[in-house]
């Protein structure tokens, strides 16, 4: 049996066994995952349909002409960058930090086949989100363009996707191999530097465009045209994402020859890059494995970092033991690039959001529109906090599993473990959340009452999400798992996410939403609190009660579970 | 069967293995001893081609591991101190995968898998997913997988950690049978009684240097005493002073990834 077939057989066997296990023991998780994907897909599809319809009818933009290439170029360009990063990062941990790699490299399997198996896995893992995001947009485009795209447009869509995925995937893989081989000691610095460079370029582009377009007024046709002009330099004839864009457009308008030409371009370059990457792996993979194991410094001195000292100083009101536990968690977090790299991406997206806010500030937006954006910002910040606590805070107690005998035997009340994690989480949520909300509301020119209510909402959400993640993390720990992302998507993590989203919905519906609607109805930004009807205040008080209950109940349950825990 | 010629391995500016010369013949059981961080795991990883020597040559069955790695690895089985098993495969599926990996013909693979299941008493759990295995069950499955293709060279790193007495007995018998079959066994261990009981020759490494190599009697002569292996080991390694710990490769990955 050839190694390629053997690896495919292994992959299918592993996937099949994992699916059967999940189906037999937690079928509802598959249903929930499918449901969530369907909801997200449907939402994106409706949004895209509406957007394309508006472009076609209200703005009279012909969807079949090359003007539409520009936003698609932007979309595929962004996805290219994201895929290069995600494939490179996934491949790095899979090729050089996984025990399976060591097992396979000590076997007689050829290096290029081992690499190829890992590369295919990394591309598949990093691109499922791409398919989830890209397919509804292209489906909506196909329906809205002219009188609807021909049938083969929908057939060509997955073919274009599959071919295209190889290109950024292989670029990420080549970058990963080169960094490991050339800079084994400085790969972390290289990664951070590169992310900073990409963010800086994006910010520079945003600022330049803002300066040029601010006179047009947000939402006007000249503003939109200026946006499209900015994108035009992304759409060079030699860039693969432009082949995607053109190929899909030609398929949509029935120009089959041009579609096939672009499809051939995508696939030939994808396959060529794949061959080059695998050939490179025969030369560099095992060498890189050796370099990464023996090329770095032998012993590095740890401790005494200024960030740890600053955090210790900041936590002065807490007792020494709780402080020590918080600093321990922070130290473990900052030493794990896989963890903080994701926070860095969050921050990058936040920076871009701030830039967008500036435009809202100086543009002539309708009053109700601004109120709506303010509420959406609050909800988005809540989502971000929910995702952050679910992904990073919930697994923290489970990750203590292997060393729980140390923590369990410490001469301190186990509740301090939870309090430490709660404070660690709450500080991050409150600092980032409050800054974002106050800044966004200020930029939108919101009245102080809305700012105060939003600030209160964010405080309740930040504390509530932290309590939920810490408390439920203690009630449903998974001490066998060492990968935090797997803990986060496990049973407890899913429950935590669902409860978190329910909590977010309740708090938003009870606290800020009625007030925002009241402001919209009254069309008066200078309302004083005594002008707000009494029943609005009752709703808000209920929201606060829900928030406080969500802080206390899971923490209490977590403390009880932790005190009873055997180890 | 195993030859290391002037092998030196450095991590940055630190020598992990220093001018190691070693030749182990077919059918020999060689015990490789040394304090923590002496360079045992680094040497083993060079034998498997996971790490490259900074200087020197490693040959397995006549094949230079640097230039003919695939041919060399076809003849090796490596059982690390923390072995890897695919969690979402059953024990039988793991054995089938290994048989395919080593290009074993179908009939022979089936026969050998049955033999291994019988030898290591895997009946009760061989069709369960390995994620549910205890440490002992995992270790027995890993040895079954390692011996399935009848390797010429068996490299074993700390095989007895966490095993019950019955499993250790089984392991010792298995290793003896392998040498009788003609395979070379390279056994790295801290368990001196097992090394004394099983091995034909013993090598002692500390601070990356092979400070003693031979039969127990030869080592006794070198140490100028008549005690057991434990006493000989302590005297020989004491003369060299405590070793500076050298991380194994997995450790160094984690070390250099942090800040």
pLDDT in tens, A455-509: 999 999 999 999 999 999 888 888 777 777 777 777 788 888 888 988 999 999 9
Question: In the prediction, which pLDDT does A348 show?
Answer: 66
Task: Look at residue B189 and give its three-state secondary structure.
Answer: coil
Rounded Cα gap, residues B55 and B75, in angstroms: 23
Average pLDDT in the A552-561 region?
Answer: 90
Specify the DSSP element, H or E, that contains B185. Answer: strand B184-188
Q: So what's the pLDDT on residue B258?
A: 32
Q: Is residue A221 less than 8 Å (CB to CB) from chain B?
A: no
Say if the Cβ atoms of A102 and B50 lie within 8 Å. Answer: yes
pLDDT recorded at residue A104: 92
Percent of chain A with pLDDT over 90: 19
| Cβ-nearest to A108 among B14, B70, B82 | B70
Asked if A102 is an interface residue toward chain B (Cβ–Cβ < 8 A), one would say yes
The C-alpha atoms of residue A160 and residue A131 are separated, in whole angstroms, by 11
- Nearest CB to B9 within list A103, A294, A302: A294
A184 with B9: Cβ contact below 8 A:
no
- Mean pLDDT (chain B) is 85
Question: Does the structure show a pLDDT above 80 at B34?
Answer: yes
pLDDT recorded at residue B167:
85
- What local confidence, expressed as pLDDT, does residue B97 receive? 93
CB-closest option in A21, A108, A305 to B101:
A108
Whole-number pLDDT of residue A229 = 65
Which has more pLDDT, B248 or A512? A512
C-alpha distances (whole Å) from A142 to each of A138, A251, B242 are 6, 9, 72
Q: Which of B39, B13, B244 is nearest to A295 (CA)?
A: B13
More confident residue, A355 or B251: A355
Q: Does A54 touch chain B (CB under 8 A)?
A: no
Residue A280 has pLDDT above 90, yes or no: yes
Least confident window among A75-84, A526-535, B106-115: A526-535
B96 touching chain A per CB within 8 A: no
Give yes or no for a contact between A242 and A235, defined as CB atoms under 8 angstroms apart: yes
Taking CB atoms and an 8 Å cutoff, what residues of chain B touch A341? none
Q: What is the pLDDT of residues A230-269, one digit of tens each?
A: 666 655 677 888 888 889 889 988 888 999 999 999 999 9
- Shortest CA distance from A102: residue in chain B: B50
Asked if A298's CB is within 8 angstroms of B247's CB, the reply is yes
In chain A, what residues touch B149 (CB-CB under 8 Å)?
none
pLDDT of residue B248: 47
User: Which H/E stretch holds residue B29?
Assistant: strand B29-33
Any B CB within 8 A of A151 CB = no
Cα of B28 to nearest chain A Cα, Å: 21
- Mean pLDDT of the B143-148 span: 92
Q: Quick one: pLDDT at residue A12?
A: 92
CB contact under 8 A, B255 and A299: yes
CA distance linking residue B230 with residue A146, whole number of Å: 86
Q: Which residues of B touch A188 (CB under 8 A)?
A: 257, 259
Computed over its alpha carbons, how large is the radius of gyration of chain A?
Answer: 26
Residue of B77, B157, B208, B257 to mutate, interface with A, max A Cβ within 10 Å: B257
- Contact of B110 with chain A, judged by CB distance below 8 Å, is answered with no
Whether the predicted pLDDT of A386 surpasses 80: yes
The minimum CA-CA distance between A93 and chain B, rounded to whole Å, is 11
Residue A528: is its pLDDT beyond 80?
A: no
Q: Which pLDDT value is given to residue A464?
A: 94
Q: Count other C-beta atoms under 10 Å from residue A333's C-beta.
A: 16
Q: Decide if B247 and A97 are in contact by the 8 Å CB cutoff.
A: no
Across the interface, do B259 and A334 touch by the CB < 8 Å criterion?
A: yes
User: Do the Cβ atoms of A176 and A91 come closer than 8 Å?
Assistant: yes
pTM strictly above 0.80? no
Residue among B9, B97, B250 whose CB faces A10 most closely: B97
Whether B10 sits inside 8 A of A21 (CB atoms) is no
**In chain B, which ranges are continuous DSSP H helix?**
40-47, 69-74, 91-101, 106-119, 135-147, 165-181, 192-198, 216-223, 229-240, 249-257
Could you tell me which chain A residue has the CA closest to the CA of B75?
A108
| Spatial separation of the C-alpha atoms in residues A38 and A48, rounded to whole Å | 15
**A189 Cβ under 8 Å from any chain B Cβ:** no
Q: Does B257 touch chain A (CB under 8 A)?
A: yes
Are B149 and B98 within 8 A, CB to CB? yes
Residues of A in contact with B9 (CB under 8 A): 294
Q: Do A108 and B73 touch (CB under 8 A)?
A: yes
Cα(A251)–Cα(A245) distance, integer angstroms: 10
Paired tokens of A412: 């301190």
pLDDT at A466: 94
Helices vs strands, H then E, count in chain A = 21, 0
Of A9, A106, A187, A192, which to mutate for an interface test with B (greatest number of B Cβ within 10 Å)? Answer: A106
pLDDT attached to residue A302 = 58
Could you say which of A286, A298, A335 has the minimum Cβ distance to residue B259? A335
CB-CB under 8 Å, A109 with B129? no
A317 pLDDT band, cuts 50/70/90, is confident
**Mind listing the pLDDT tens digit for each residue in B83-127?**
889 988 999 999 999 999 998 998 999 999 999 999 888 998 999
CA distance A311 to A306: 9
Q: Which pLDDT score is estimated for B231?
A: 82
- Closest Cα in chain B, distance from residue A415 (Å): 30
Query: d(Cα B213, Cα A544) in Å, to the nearest integer?
Result: 75
State yes or no: pLDDT of B75 exceeds 80: yes
Confidence bin at A214 (pLDDT 50/70/90): low
Whole-number pLDDT of residue A357: 61
Chain B residues with CB-CB distance to A192 below 8 A: none
What is the spatial distance between Cα A478 and Cα A500, in angstroms, rounded to a whole number? Answer: 19
Burial class (CB in 10 A: 0-12, 13-18, 19+), A28: exposed
Q: Which residue has the tokens 């995992």?
A: B138
Do A294 and B250 count as a contact with CB atoms less than 8 A apart?
no
* DSSP code for B232: H
Best probe of the A interface among B65, B84, B131, B251, by most A CBs < 10 A, is B84
User: Would you tell me which residues 54-93 of chain B have a C-beta closer than 8 angstroms to some C-beta of chain A?
Assistant: 54, 69-70, 73-74, 76, 78, 80, 82-84, 86, 88-90, 93
Nearest CA in chain B to A481: B131
Residues of A in contact with B44 (CB under 8 A): none
Q: Which of B77, B98, B101 to mutate to test the interface with A (most CBs of A within 10 A)?
A: B101
ipTM > 0.95, yes or no: no
pLDDT tens digits along A100-126: 888 999 998 999 999 999 999 888 888
User: Which residues does chain A have within 8 Å of residue B93's beta carbon, measured at their own beta carbons?
Assistant: 13, 17
Comparing CA positions, the residue from A283, A441, A480 lying closest to residue A360 is A441
Q: Which chain B residue is nearest to residue A98, measuring alpha carbons?
A: B250
Per cent of chain A over pLDDT 70 is: 84
- Residues 125 to 164 of B: which have CB under 8 A from any A CB? 129
pLDDT at B251: 39
Q: How many CB pairs under 8 A join A and B?
A: 114
Q: Average per-residue pLDDT in chain A?
A: 81
With a cut of 80, say whether residue A296 has pLDDT above it.
no
């Amino acid at each position: 049996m050839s190694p390629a077939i053997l690896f495919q057989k292994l992959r299918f066997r592993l996937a099949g066994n994992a699916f059967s296990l999940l189906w037999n023991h937690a079928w509802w998780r598959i249903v929930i995952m499918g449901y969530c994907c369907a909801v997200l897909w449907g939402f994106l599809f409706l949004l895209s349909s509406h957007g394309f319809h508006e472009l076609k009818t209200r703005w009279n933009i012909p969807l079949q002409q090359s003007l539409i290439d520009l936003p698609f170029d932007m979309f595929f360009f962004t996805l290219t960058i994201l895929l290069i990063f995600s494939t490179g990062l996934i491949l790095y941990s899979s090729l050089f930090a996984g025990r399976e790699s060591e097992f396979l490299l000590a076997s007689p399997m050829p290096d290029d086949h081992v690499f190829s198996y890992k590369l295919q896995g990394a591309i598949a893992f990093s691109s499922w989100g791409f398919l989830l995001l890209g397919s509804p947009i292209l489906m909506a485009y196909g329906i809205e363009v002219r009188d609807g795209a021909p049938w083969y447009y929908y057939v060509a869509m997955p073919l274009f996707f599959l071919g295209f995925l190889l290109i950024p995937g292989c670029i990420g893989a080549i970058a990963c191999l080169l960094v490991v081989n050339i800079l084994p000691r400085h790969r972390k610095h290289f990664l951070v530097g590169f992310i900073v460079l990409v963010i800086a370029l994006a910010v520079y582009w945003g600022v330049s465009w803002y300066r040029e377009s601010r006179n047009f007024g947000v939402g006007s046709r000249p503003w939109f045209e200026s946006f499209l002009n900015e994108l035009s330099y992304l759409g060079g004839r030699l860039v693969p994402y432009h082949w995607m864009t053109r190929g899909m457009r030609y398929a949509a308008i029935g120009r089959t020859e041009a579609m096939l030409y672009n499809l051939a371009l995508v696939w030939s370059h994808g396959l060529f890059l794949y061959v080059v990457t695998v050939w490179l792996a025969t030369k560099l993979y095992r060498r890189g494995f050796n370099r990464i194991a023996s090329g770095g410094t032998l012993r590095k001195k740890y401790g005494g970092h200024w960030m740890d000292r600053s955090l210790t100083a900041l936590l002065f009101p807490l007792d020494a033991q709780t402080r020590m536990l918080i600093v321990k968690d922070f130290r473990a977090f900052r030493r794990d690039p896989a963890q903080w790299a994701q926070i860095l991406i969050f921050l990058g997206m936040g920076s871009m959001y701030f830039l967008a806010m500036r435009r809202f500030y100086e543009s002539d937006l309708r009053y109700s529109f601004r109120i709506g954006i303010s509420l959406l910002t609050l909800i988005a910040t809540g989502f971000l906090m929910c995702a952050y606590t679910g992904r990073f805070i919930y697994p923290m107690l489970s990750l203590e599993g292997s060393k729980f005998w140390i923590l369990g035997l410490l001469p301190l009340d186990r509740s301090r473990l939870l309090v430490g994690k709660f404070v660690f989480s709450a500080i991050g949520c409150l600092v980032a959340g409050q800054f974002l909300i106050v800044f966004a509301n200020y930029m939108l020119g919101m009245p102080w009452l809305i700012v105060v209510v939003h600030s209160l909402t964010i405080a309740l959400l930040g504390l509530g999400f932290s309590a939920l993640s810490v408390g439920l993390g203690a009630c449903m720990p998974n001490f066998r798992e060492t990968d935090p992302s797997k803990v986060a998507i496990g049973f407890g993590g899913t429950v935590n996410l669902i409860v978190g989203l329910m909590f977010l919905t309740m708090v938003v519906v009870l606290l800020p939403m009625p007030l925002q609607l009241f402001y919209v109805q009254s069309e008066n930004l200078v309302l004083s609190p005594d002008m707000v009807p009494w029943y609005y205040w009752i709703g808000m008080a209920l929201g606060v009660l829900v928030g406080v209950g969500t802080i206390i109940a899971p923490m209490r349950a977590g403390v009880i579970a932790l005190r009873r825990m055997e180890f | 069967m195993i030859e290391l010629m002037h092998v030196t391995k450095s991590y940055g500016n630190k020598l992990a293995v220093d001018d190691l010369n070693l030749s182990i013949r077919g059918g020999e059981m060689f015990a490789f001893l040394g304090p923590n961080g002496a360079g045992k795991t680094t040497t083993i990883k060079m034998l498997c081609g996971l790490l490259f020597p900074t200087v020197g040559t490693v040959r397995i069955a006549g094949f230079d591991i640097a230039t003919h790695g695939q041919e060399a690895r076809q003849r090796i089985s490596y059982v690390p101190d923390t072995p890897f098993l695919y969690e979402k495969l059953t024990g039988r599926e793991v054995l089938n995968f290994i048989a395919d990996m080593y290009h074993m013909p179908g009939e022979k693979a089936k026969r050998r898998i049955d033999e291994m299941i019988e030898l290591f008493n895997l009946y009760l759990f061989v069709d369960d997913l390995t994620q549910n295995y205890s440490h002992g069950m995992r270790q027995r499955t890993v040895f079954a997988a390692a011996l399935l293709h009848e390797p010429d060279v068996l490299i074993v790193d700390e095989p007895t950690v966490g095993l019950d007495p019955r499993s250790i007995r089984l392991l010792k018998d298995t290793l003896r049978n392998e040498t009788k079959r003609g395979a070379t066994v390279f056994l790295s261990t801290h368990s001196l009684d097992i090394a004394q009981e099983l091995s034909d020759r013993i090598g002692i490494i500390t601070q990356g240097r092979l400070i003693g190599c031979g039969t127990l009697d030869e080592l006794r002569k070198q140490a100028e005493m008549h005690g057991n292996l434990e006493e000989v080991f302590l005297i020989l390694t004491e003369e060299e002073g405590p070793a500076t710990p050298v991380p194994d490769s997995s450790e160094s990955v984690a070390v250099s990834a942090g800040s």
